[in-house]
């Protein structure tokens, strides 16, 4: 598959979406404004614990299906992930 997809925002959902799409054969660009997130992704380190995610990231980085940087260009589809916070009653605040 040669479809280019940009996943913007590599925290909770974004990193999982990026890894899954790359594993399914999409050409994925993971973009984030946080340098530490990109540096950790370069080491196949997810920003949160999800069983098997670091191994999946390593596989996708090695295959070349998952690329990472701070700027995007040339992608045909975009997935934008935004942070949400939980209030004191565990309700999502948007």
Q: How confident is the model at residue 18 (pLDDT cuts 50, 70, 90)?
A: very high
Does the structure show a pLDDT above 90 at 21? yes
| Every domain of the chain and the residues it spans | 4-93
Look at residues 92, 76, 79 and name the one whose alpha carbon lies nearest to residue 13: 79
Q: How far apart are CA 29 and CA 78, in angstroms?
A: 9
Q: DSSP character for 18?
A: H
Q: How confident is the model at residue 80 (pLDDT cuts 50, 70, 90)?
A: confident
The radius of gyration of the chain from alpha carbons, rounded to an integer in Å, stands at: 13
Mapping DSSP to helix (H, G, I), strand (E, B) and coil, where does residue 47 land?
coil
Architecture of domain 4-93: 3-Layer(aba) Sandwich (3.40)
Full-model pTM: 0.78
Q: How far apart are CA 62 and CA 73, in angstroms?
A: 21
Q: What is the pLDDT of residues 31-75, one digit of tens each?
A: 888 888 888 888 999 988 889 999 999 999 999 999 876 667 676
């Amino acid at each position: 598959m040669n479809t280019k997809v940009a996943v913007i925002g590599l925290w909770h959902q974004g990193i999982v979406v990026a890894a899954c799409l790359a594993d399914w054969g999409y050409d994925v660009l993971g973009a984030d404004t946080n340098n530490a997130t990109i540096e950790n992704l370069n080491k196949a380190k997810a920003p949160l614990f999800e069983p098997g995610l670091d191994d999946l990231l390593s596989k996708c980085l090695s295959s070349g299906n998952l690329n990472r940087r701070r700027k995007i260009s040339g992608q045909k589809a975009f997935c934008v992930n935004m942070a949400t916070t939980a209030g004191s009653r565990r309700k999502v605040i948007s």
